[in-house]
């Protein structure tokens, strides 16, 4: 079975390739970073340098006749121009859909995001639903529109995955952000860090992708993906910082003042058209203040998804690879 993977040179993409090739799949790895891409090549993996926002560029990869596609490529960041998010995440997904339909791809697995659930309140055990809209960030807005585009193409059999808070060796987002804030100010703490958070070891997200390609029950479905191990924020940070050999420093903050500060920063950045990510945003505040855990019963039942790496194992693996000796 031949599978085309977009975003192959990214954090999740590399783990998806490792998971698929371990189980005998041939992979067409699509990405823009030629140096990383060439390093992925072996007897089971061929690399194609292509930009999925350019349908003519992407068409070259589809000439290798993939039977299935994993669309993991995206512009994934908290802040930026709407035009950039729209071009990458919405129009790019449309390009993938068009080529899947044209070439008769059997199934498309799309990597979406549970950030679409984000709001200013505690949410525990969220089941799969799709908000009509969420304008909290341009990224969230673009992922919702991308899901709508997929549902508007029933001729392409699709599965949507929403993996929560990916962590692992090679992470360039979740853990580095925490370390950066910790070094500069201390880890922001609201309500003594007793709110609940869900994370996903990247190895488990890659497993979910393979299962989504294989399950006969998955066609047309949406699945939350996590480790299934919600933790209180302070407890999680204590374990992670201890594993890294970093002394825990916490910055206790007032909810209302911090929210006002984050909102003010966003207003300032928008007014002066600053596209570099602010140190704090309202979305960051929601992550640090409110509980959000996902129900993964549907993935367990229909994908037979059972995480192969615990959260503590993932933390230790990351720490071993990144700890300064």
Q: Of 165, 311, 163, give the one whose Cα is nearest residue 243.
A: 311
Other CB atoms within 10 Å distance of the CB of residue 104: 10
The one-character DSSP state at 278 is P
Q: Is 297 helix (H, G, I), strand (E, B) or coil?
A: helix
Q: Please state whether beta strands 187-189 and 250-252 pair in parallel, antiparallel, or not at all (unpaired).
A: parallel
**H-only helix segments in the chain:** 11-22, 34-40, 55-62, 82-85, 92-103, 138-151, 174-184, 202-214, 233-244, 255-271, 282-289, 297-302, 311-322
pLDDT by 10s per residue, the chain, length 325:
999 999 999 999 999 999 999 999 999 999 999 999 999 999 999 999 999 999 999 999 999 999 999 999 999 999 999 999 999 999 999 999 999 999 999 999 999 999 999 999 999 999 999 999 999 999 999 999 999 999 999 999 999 999 999 999 999 888 887 777 777 788 999 989 999 999 999 999 999 999 999 999 999 999 999 999 999 999 999 999 999 988 889 999 999 999 999 999 999 999 999 999 898 899 999 999 999 999 999 999 999 999 999 999 999 999 999 876 4
**Alpha-carbon span 285 to 269, nearest angstrom:** 16
The one-character DSSP state at 96 is H
> What's the token pair of residue 102?
């044209």
The pair phi, psi for residue 115, each rounded to 5°, is -60, -20
Q: What is the pLDDT of residue 176?
A: 82
Residue-range domains of the chain with CATH: 2-164+202-226+293-305 (3.40.50.720)
**Alpha-carbon span 87 to 80, nearest angstrom:** 12
CA end-to-end span of the chain, whole Å? 43
């Amino acid at each position: 079975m031949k599978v085309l993977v977009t975003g192959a040179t990214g954090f999740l993409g590399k783990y998806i390739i490792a998971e698929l090739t371990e189980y005998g799949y041939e992979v067409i790895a699509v990405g823009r970073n030629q140096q990383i891409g060439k390093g992925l090549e072996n007897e089971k993996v061929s690399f194609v340098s292509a930009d999925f926002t350019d349908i003519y560029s992407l068409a070259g990869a589809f000439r290798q006749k993939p039977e299935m596609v994993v669309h993991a490529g995206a512009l994934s960041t908290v802040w930026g121009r709407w035009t950039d998010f729209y071009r990458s995440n919405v129009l790019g997904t449309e390009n993938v859909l068009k080529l899947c339909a044209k070439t008769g791809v059997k199934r498309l697995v799309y990597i979406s995001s549970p950030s679409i659930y984000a709001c200013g309140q505690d949410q525990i055990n969220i089941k799969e639903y799709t908000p009509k809209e969420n304008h909290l960030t341009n990224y969230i807005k673009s992922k919702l529109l991308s899901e709508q585009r997929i549902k508007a193409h029933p001729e392409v059999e699709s599965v949507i995955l929403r993996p929560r808070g990916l962590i692992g060796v090679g992470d360039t987002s979740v853990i580095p952000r925490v370390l950066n804030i910790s070094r500069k100010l201390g880890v922001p703490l609201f309500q003594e860090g007793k709110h609940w958070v869900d994370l996903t070891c990247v190895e488990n997200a890659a497993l979910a992708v393979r299962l989504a390609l294989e399950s006969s029950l998955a066609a047309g479905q949406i699945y939350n993906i996590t480790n299934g191990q919600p933790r209180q924020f302070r407890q999680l940070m204590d374990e992670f910082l201890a594993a890294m050999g970093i002394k825990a420093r916490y910055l206790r903050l007032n909810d209302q003042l911090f929210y006002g500060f984050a909102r003010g920063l966003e207003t300032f950045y928008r007014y002066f058209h600053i596209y570099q990510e602010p140190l704090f945003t309202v979305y960051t505040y929601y992550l640090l203040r409110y509980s959000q855990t996902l129900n993964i019963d549907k993935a367990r039942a229909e994908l037979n998804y059972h995480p192969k790496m615990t959260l503590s194992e993932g933390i230790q693996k990351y720490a071993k690879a990144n700890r300064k000796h």
